[in-house]
Amino acid sequence: MGSRPRPKVKLKRLKRVTPDSKFYIDFEWWESSNLDLKTYLMTRLQIGDESELDTDIEFVDLVDGQTGEVRRVDGFQYLIQAYFRQLPDDFVLNASLVDAAFCVLLSNANQPMTGREIAERIQKPAKVVVRTLGGTTVYQGIRPVHED
């Protein structure tokens, strides 16, 4: 045996991701990456130019209809969520799996959704969605929710 210590493995990483696992967009991933969320949304998803959106809104207060809790959210994120809620259903069918899942999560106000729910919305097999989004590579900040 060598003198090198064994690496510590975080248990969260070992949990198996299934079609019933929930996914969300980790906006901290965007902040720590070398990618810019606004640029991604404006170009890759072809939202259009920035003049179509009022991006000067800093924050929006949202009231949760179930709990009555008031939550302050980023104004740009709110506008994007509203934009994706208005898109026709076939929009996600023409996008890549990752972009489609990203759009579905945004339109759902980034409330966690199961792999099965995402698969249903983008009309892809749940097994493919889970394998893509639940792997070791993080795409567009989409991560599984690991409940302790």
Contact assessment for residue 126 and residue 48, using Cβ atoms and an 8 Å cutoff: no
Task: State the pTM of this model.
Answer: 0.73
Mean pLDDT of the chain: 81
pLDDT value of position 115: 96
pLDDT tens digits for range 48-76:
554 455 556 788 887 877 888 888 877 77
Helices (H), 37-125: 37-39, 75-85, 97-107, 115-122
Domain extent at residue 122 = 16-45+89-144
Highest mean pLDDT range out of 8-17, 77-86, 118-127?
118-127
Q: Which of 36, 31, 24 is nearest to 143 (CA)?
A: 24
Say if 27 falls within a structural domain: yes
**Sign of the Cα pseudo-torsion (54, 57, 58, 62, in order):** negative
Say if 72 falls within a structural domain: no
In DSSP terms, which residues pair with 143 in a beta bridge?
24
Say if 67 falls within a structural domain: no
| 27-41, 42-56, 66-80, 132-146: segment of lowest average pLDDT | 42-56
Contact assessment for residue 103 and residue 91, using Cβ atoms and an 8 Å cutoff: yes
C-alpha torsion angle, residues 28, 32, 34, 38 (rounded to 10): 30
Say if 55 falls within a structural domain: no
Say if 121 falls within a structural domain: yes
Say if 99 falls within a structural domain: yes
Q: Are strands 59-63 and 70-74 parallel, antiparallel or unpaired?
A: antiparallel
pLDDT tens digits for range 5-27:
665 545 445 578 999 999 999 98
pLDDT surpassing 80 at residue 28: yes
CB atoms within 10 A of CB 84: 21
pLDDT value of position 51: 47
Say if 129 falls within a structural domain: yes
Say if 63 falls within a structural domain: no
pLDDT tens digits for range 94-106:
889 999 999 899 8
Tell me how many domains the chain contains: 1
Residue at token pair 């259009």: 48
Q: Which of 130, 86, 129, 106 is nearest to 27 (CA)?
A: 106
pLDDT value of position 121: 92
User: CA 80 to CA 92: how far, in whole Å?
Assistant: 15
